[in-house]
Amino acid sequence: MLEKKVVVLQVIGEMVMGGAESRIMDLLRTLDPEKVHYDFLVFNPKEQHYDQEIEARGSHVYRLQPRFKMYNYFAFCKALKAFFMAHPEIDIVQGHMTSTAAIYLPIAKQCGVKCTIAHARSAGVDPGFKGLLTKWLRRDLYRRADVLFACSSEAAKAVYGEERYKAGKVRILPNAIDLSQFAPDEENRSAGRKVREKYGLGERFVVGHVGRFHYAKNHLFLLEIFRELLKSRKDAVLLLVGDGDTYAEVRERAAHLGIGDRVVFAGMQKDTAGYYHAMDLLIFPSRYEGLPGTVVEAQAAGVPCLMSSAVTKEVAVTSLVETLSLEEGASVWAEEALAHYRRSGECKKKEGFWQECYEHLCEKGFDVTAQARMLERIYRKMAVTVHTCI
């Protein structure tokens, strides 16, 4: 049995407060530090949200420059090689940036890293040239990594191909969370009341969304849905938690639709449990996802969620989640959202409902404690033997 702790380098763009980043942090906090040590390689020269906590926990955030821009391919490769040669202590490299993983994983391998992991966390790409470039860069990623991880079957098929997914060459690791942080206990309910007080929501009907402002999240359609929903629930307010590229555009569209005064832009929030407990209903009309932690967190908090059918069904493990096609109009979404809210209200009255939801989430792999124990075993086995790429 391997005695020394396994050093795993997590490669990711930056440690902002996003979904993938938060899930990695949940693992960092839960893994046994005597067995597994996480370090981070990022490409943003500026300090980000989680950097201080990472360093405080004894891990390191390494910043690589230059950031990959296609035209600087050789300079990027040179910097990567210099980094890996300077860090022979790294046993495993786990790459979450699948757009460039086909470049940095083979270089890590050439520099003596025992095992490389490609970790797919999204089932789609950005529109336009950026998306086409991402697809081209990762076209043969499955050949350039020793082990293939994905957060869902949809992400696995999108990044590695359906053939490899069906052949069992991809290990599915759901985006697990600390379920206890979102439980509908008195502490979290109190936090929810404080959120309502903070924004003056009172007893109004709160429709919520948690996620970065990005093309994939489809905020503009969410505004259309909410405008339709207001026709039936004139007391409704839309609570948006997050920030991102399309933030200004969404604010402008809300004002243009005449609902700007009914939308709360809460920005990024470190502790989101109270925000879920301030919500009556969550609407999640994403164009694509890997496996959204938001929907897992909503279920853990007991919040009914109407989700796009474009999102993997693997996340819908309780009766709190319903799905609807994006081909349906905003009025249909609004009608179904309210109907689902009423149905969920009846379900939540049943004895043992919360315990049943918790057990379903655990059974499907969404408990971070169980996943951490499993990863400790996986990492330690990987670090014993030098792998060859699949």
pLDDT of residue 106: 97
* Residue 1 pLDDT > 70: no
Question: 188 with 141, same domain?
Answer: no
The total number of structural domains in the chain stands at 2
> For residues 122 and 138, what is the distance between their CA atoms, to the nearest angstrom?
13
Report if residue 389 sits inside a domain.
Answer: no
Question: 32 with 112, same domain?
Answer: yes
- What is the pLDDT averaged over residues 195-222? 97
Q: Are 283 and 333 in contact (CB under 8 A)?
A: yes
Report if residue 390 sits inside a domain.
Answer: no
Instruction: Specify the higher pLDDT residue, 210 or 129.
Output: 210
Report if residue 356 sits inside a domain.
Answer: yes
Which residue, 320, 324, 323, 308, is CA-closest to 361? 320
pLDDT tens digit sequence for 253-298: 999 999 999 999 999 998 899 999 999 999 999 999 989 999 999 9
What does residue 148 show for φ and ψ, rounded to 5 degrees? -115, 120
Question: 98 with 245, same domain?
Answer: no
Q: What CATH number does residue 299 fall under?
A: 3.40.50.2000
pLDDT tens digit sequence for 64-96: 999 999 899 999 999 999 999 999 999 999 999
Which residue, 286, 284, 236, 285, is CA-closest to 259? 236
Question: 149 with 193, same domain?
Answer: no
Question: 325 with 300, same domain?
Answer: yes
Where are the strands (E) in 18-128, listed by range?
36-42, 61-63, 92-95, 115-120
CA distances from 382 to 14, 148, 167, 289 (A): 25, 13, 21, 28
* Residue 2 pLDDT > 70: no
Residue 125, domain extent: 6-176+367-384
State the pTM of this model.
Answer: 0.86
Question: 45 with 171, same domain?
Answer: yes
Report if residue 301 sits inside a domain.
Answer: yes
Of the pLDDT bands very low, low, confident and very high (cuts 50, 70, 90), residue 354 is confident
**DSSP state letters, 266-315:** EE--S--HHHHHT-SEEEE--S--SS-HHHHHHHHHT--EEEETTS-GGG
Report if residue 1 sits inside a domain.
Answer: no
pLDDT of residue 390: 46
Question: 102 with 238, same domain?
Answer: no
Question: 200 with 334, same domain?
Answer: yes
User: What crossing angle do the helices spanning 219-229 and 330-347 adopt, rounded to 10°?
Assistant: 70
pLDDT of residue 387: 63
